[in-house]
Amino acid sequence: MSHRIRRAEPRDNAGILALLENTPQQGAVSLNFERRPDYFLGARVTCEEPDVWVAERRDDPSRIDAVYNVGRRRVWVNGEVRWVRYAHDLRIASDCGNGMLLPRLFRQLRARLEPGEWMQTVILRDNHASLGTVASGRAGLPHYYPCGTIETSLIYTRAQRRRPPAGVTVRRTGPSDLPAMAALLRREGAHKQFFPHWEPEHLDGDGYYHGLDAGSFLGVWEGGRLRGLLGFWDQKRIKQTRVLGYRGGLQWLRHFYNLHSRVRGGFRLPKPGGYLSYLTLHAALVEDNEPHWLRWLLDHAVQAFHAQYDALVCGFFASDPLSRVPARYRRQVLHSDHFLVSYDGDPRDALNHDRIPYVDVARL
């Protein structure tokens, strides 16, 4: 089977979507991470400068057998803003997984990287296929250097009556708050490793900020001082998580599980073919990284979005003191491994390890 590897074009959208929908994540619940209706719209949200490549069959150019994105985005590294690639969305058709297509993809990648350039990537702990292939150290592949564990929480929404103390206010932001938001994002973001570079003046635009505006954040104030931010992002128009099926007894227990979730809060498991209902939280940033500010923000979010979503999705590196805050809520937890990927030595040696790493789950 012969393939041509080339940069992706808009005409490839249907072929990429078909490939994504035929390479599900297996487990007790079989899931598909989908990007309908436009893969490239989601790619521009993940990376400011997407760099998408595909492998098409020479005898059938409409058939896409592999895709990956190694786009660039600006993040804070050692207190400075720099462009860093993020390697993601690697999918290879099941009938091509044992051939030479993967090494060919990585040879093409190596030719495009600058000397010494490194990338970030995140792999779900349950994704044994990826951990056993791309992160295995096979000859011809780049080296994957472990650089932290990410804990993603699916926090169940519910009605509650907890209120912040006197003098503390939590509310949605608005246009008049943009200067204070920009100052906080820059001041506190610079202290974190890999925190995204934000330009709040570009909110309400497209591309990297598609679907966001000045009101897409919660803020916590003490008196007149903004102490923290928590963004919320409904991404169902660009990314979806579809349930394909259930294994074992779960397919019979689904109705009882949903009844329990309705009473106590939690994910309602849809019929096979249905989608999970969640809201993605991002840009979680609080002054001096003090957990109590995040707690008031999460308390507000858990109640405010209860009628619309089953769960709120947020993520933190396990080494971040803020990661302890989601443990106060009813939740499910997923673990992922974060890697720095390089052909030219260990990039971790150049990092300031006193800075707390950050992950933006809305852009994974």
Class of domain 3-147: alpha beta
Task: Give yes or no for a contact between 228 and 294, defined as CB atoms under 8 angstroms apart.
Answer: yes
Mean pLDDT of the 204-229 span = 95
Mean pLDDT score, 219-242? 95
For residue 214, CA distances in Å to 101, 139, 233 come to 44, 48, 12
Asked if pLDDT for residue 256 goes beyond 70, the answer is no
Q: What is the pLDDT of residue 130?
A: 73
Average pLDDT over residues 323-330: 95
User: Would you list the domain boundaries of the chain?
Assistant: 3-147, 155-237+271-363
- What average pLDDT does range 138-149 have in this prediction? 88
pLDDT over threshold 80, residue 43: yes
Same-fold call for 3-147 versus 155-237+271-363: yes
pLDDT at 39 (0 to 100): 97
Residue 253 has pLDDT above 60, yes or no: no
Tell me the per-residue pLDDT of 60-111, one tens digit each, with 9 for 90 and over: 888 999 999 999 999 999 999 999 999 999 999 988 866 788 889 999 999 9
Q: Judge contact between 354 and 319, C-beta under 8 A.
A: no
Which of 96-105, 110-119, 172-181, 326-335 is least confident?
96-105
Read off the pLDDT of each residue in 353-361 and give the average, rounded to a whole number. Answer: 96
Average pLDDT over residues 150-170: 90
Query: What is the model's pLDDT at position 27?
Result: 65
| Centroid of chain to Cα 243 | 18
Q: Residue 349's pLDDT is what?
A: 95
Choose between 183 and 139: higher pLDDT: 183
Q: Could you identify the residue written with the tokens 């098409």? A: 56
β-bridge partners, 90: none
Which CATH number is correct for 155-237+271-363, 1.10.10.10, 3.40.630.30, 3.30.750.24, 3.40.640.10?
Answer: 3.40.630.30
Q: Where do runs of H (alpha helix) occur along the chain?
A: 13-21, 39-46, 101-112, 128-131, 178-189, 250-264, 291-304
* Tokens, residue 120: 């970030």
The pLDDT, as a whole number, for residue 120 is 98
pLDDT of residue 61: 86
Mean predicted lDDT score pLDDT of the chain:
90
Tell whether the model's pLDDT for residue 206 goes beyond 90: no
Q: Which has the higher per-residue pLDDT, 361 or 331?
A: 361
Each residue of 6-25: pLDDT tens digit? 999 999 999 999 999 988 87
- pLDDT classification of 265: cutoffs 50, 70, 90: low
Q: Over 70: is that where the pLDDT of 250 sits?
A: no
- What per-residue confidence (pLDDT) applies to 32? 83
Sign for the pseudo-dihedral over CA of 133, 137, 138, 141: positive
